[in-house]
């Protein structure tokens, strides 16, 4: 595969992960301290970064929910994922989504075990 053949694809995560990440977005009604993100895109970026930093991915099962394609530009991640995309043959968006799915699951586990999402920032 050449660089010109790299498919951009789109980003998305499983419905449960999308719901979970949405619950981490600040809103006017729930002034919870454990809602550190201002948008779903920001939460998705953090989930991606968490998966990428641990070099762990997870394929989502079932249907996928999209994540603001105009606000999350997959081309911005080409530089760090180029080699992996070229070797795997996956689309850039698909690879990003797998990292984000893993990160979302890890954040969900932490929260389910009584931890705080803010702990990831410490």
Label each residue of 22-51 as H, E or C: HCCECCCCCCCCCCCECCHHHHHHHHHHHH
Residue listed under structure tokens 């809602």: 35
pLDDT at 33 over 80: no
In this predicted structure, what is the pLDDT of residue 3? Answer: 63
Q: What dihedral angle (degrees, nearest 10) is formed by the CA atoms of 94, 77, 84, 4?
A: 90
In DSSP terms, 14 is beta-bridged to 64
Mean pLDDT over 46-64 rounds to 92
Residue with tokens 């105009």: 70
pLDDT at residue 117 tops 80: yes
| 14 occurs within a structural domain | yes
As a whole-number percent, the residues of the chain with pLDDT over 70 amount to 94
pLDDT of residue 71: 83
Q: What is the mean pLDDT of residues 3-15?
A: 86
Residue range 99-122: mean pLDDT, rounded: 93
Q: Is residue 102 in some structural domain?
A: yes
Residues 58 and 14 sit within 8 Å (Cβ to Cβ): no
User: Quick check: is 121 in a domain?
Assistant: no
Q: What pLDDT is attached to residue 86? A: 92
Is position 80 within any domain? Answer: yes
Instruction: Identify the domain containing residue 18 by its residue range.
Output: 3-116
Mean pLDDT of 10-22: 94
Query: What does the pLDDT average to over 63-89?
Result: 89
Any domain includes 122: no
C-alpha closest to that of 44 among 12, 75, 76: 12
Domain count for the chain: 1
């Amino acid at each position: 595969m050449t660089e010109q053949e790299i498919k951009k694809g789109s980003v998305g995560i499983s419905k449960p992960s999308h719901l979970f990440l949405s619950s981490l977005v600040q809103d006017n009604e729930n002034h919870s301290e454990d809602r550190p993100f201002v948008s779903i895109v920001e939460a998705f970026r953090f989930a991606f970064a968490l998966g990428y930093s641990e070099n762990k991915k997870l394929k989502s099962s079932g249907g996928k929910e999209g994540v603001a394609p105009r606000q999350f530009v997959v081309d911005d991640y080409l530089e760090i994922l180029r080699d992996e995309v070229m070797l795997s043959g996956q689309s850039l968006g698909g690879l990003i989504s797998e990292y984000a799915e893993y990160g979302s699951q890890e954040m969900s586990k932490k929260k389910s075990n009584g931890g705080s999402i803010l702990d990831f920032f410490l």
